[in-house]
Structure formats: C-alpha cells, structure tokens
Amino acid sequence: MRNQFSIAAGCALVVMCLACVASAQTAAPGAQAAPAAPVSNVVANPTYISIPLEITVNRPAAEVWKRVGKFCDIGEWLRIPCTITSGKDGEFGAVRSVASEVLVGKTELSYTYTQPVRAGRPYNLYHGTLEARPVTVTTSKLVYTLMFDNSMLADDAARERDKAQKTAQFTQALENMKILAEGGTLPPAPPRGGATQPGGAQIR
C-alpha cells in the first residue's frame, strides 16, 4: 500500500513539473507570439461625402475630351508620373500607376475610377468622375466629382482639412486642364516633395 502511495505521489509530482516547464516556456523571452488578428477593411459607420468641382472651357466638349480625357492624361494635368500598368487606356478595368486607380465606368465624354482595397487599411470607397459637359456649340465645362468615406479621420477639424486639401488640389487640376484644352501650356511643375496623389497618397 505504501509503495502504491509513493508511486502515485511521484506521478503527480512529475505532472506538476511538466506543467511548470510548459508555462515557463510560454512566458520565456523570445517565445513566438500568436499571430495578430488581421485588420478589417470594413468601416462600421461610414460617412460619405462628395466634392463637386467644375470650370468653364472655351472649346467644344468633344475637343476638350480629346485633349485631356484619356485615363493617363492625369499625368500631364496633375503633373505627376502616370503609366497604364494593366489593360488599355480608356477601357474598363484599365489600371493606372496613380494610386493603382481602376477605370470602372465611362461614357463618350466621361470616366469614373476607384482606388482598390488595401491590406490593413480601412476602405474609404474613394471614387472620382471626370466629365466634359457641352454648354454651347463652342463652349463646355469640365466637371470633376470626388466621393469617399471620411469617417476614419480623427475629428471634424481633420475632415475639414482633408476636404480643403482635396478641393485645392483638384481645382488646380481643372485649371490646368482648361489651359491645355484651350491650347495653352502649363508652367513648370512645383517640387514633388510635398505633392500628393488623389486620395491623399504622398508622392515621393
């Protein structure tokens, strides 16, 4: 009986020791942590806003669109590098190097693009539409509308700053398009260090 008790006590002691070793290994410095949960792209309570901008051009809409309406013409009038990285300029699904934007809609005198979902970042559904709209036989207007979710910005002040920055950036883009469409040339581009791509991506 005494031997049976000794054996049982010894087994219990071994089990306790093994548990302690396992616990120490788990807490030991350098031990591999469990992988972090992936960050969701889904925004729980989005707040969508739009920024509509337009400018009058002293040229017919078809001429305006021919001059500034190709998908990668953004490189000229926003004065940033642009190449088509997938598909063909002007066709559905074409991708341009500017923020990897994808052409998702078009008419004879307009196109709409979006920016893709990115891993680890909330998706703000950023879309832009550029249109040459006839006004008279000899005049037209360029209409540029942005739409996106700004709910992930810190507060109302941050949202106002973001809206003001985008408004200024694309107002300048429309002014550049007007100059080009009316036969003018653009002044030299400013230094690229502080410029941003559409949607806020920094250009380096």
**Rounded to whole angstroms, how far apart are CA atoms 99 and 118?**
11
Confidence of residue 67 (pLDDT cuts 50, 70, 90): very high
What is the arithmetic mean of pLDDT over 160-179? 97
What domains are there in the chain, each with its CATH number?
A: 48-185 (3.30.530.20)
Residues 30, 109: contact at Cβ < 8 Å? Answer: no
Q: What percent of the chain has a predicted confidence (pLDDT) above 90?
A: 66
Confidence of residue 91 (pLDDT cuts 50, 70, 90): very high
What is the arithmetic mean of pLDDT over 100-119? 96
Does the pLDDT at position 38 exceed 80? no
Q: Which amino acid is at 124?
A: N
What is the arithmetic mean of pLDDT over 175-202? 77
**Rounded to whole angstroms, how far apart are CA atoms 183 and 86?**
30
Q: How far apart are the first and last CA of the chain?
A: 81
22 CA to centre of own chain: 46
If DSSP codes are grouped into helix, strand and coil, which group holds residue 51? strand
**More confident of the two residues 171 and 119:** 171
pLDDT of 187 = 86
pLDDT of 27 = 46
Does the pLDDT at position 90 exceed 90? yes
Does the pLDDT at position 78 exceed 60? yes
pLDDT of 200 = 52
Strand-pair partners of 96: 84
Q: What is the pTM of this model?
A: 0.75
Q: What is the mean pLDDT of the chain?
A: 84
Residues 40, 162: contact at Cβ < 8 Å? Answer: no
pLDDT of 42 = 82
Does the pLDDT at position 44 exceed 50? yes
What is the arithmetic mean of pLDDT over 107-116? 97
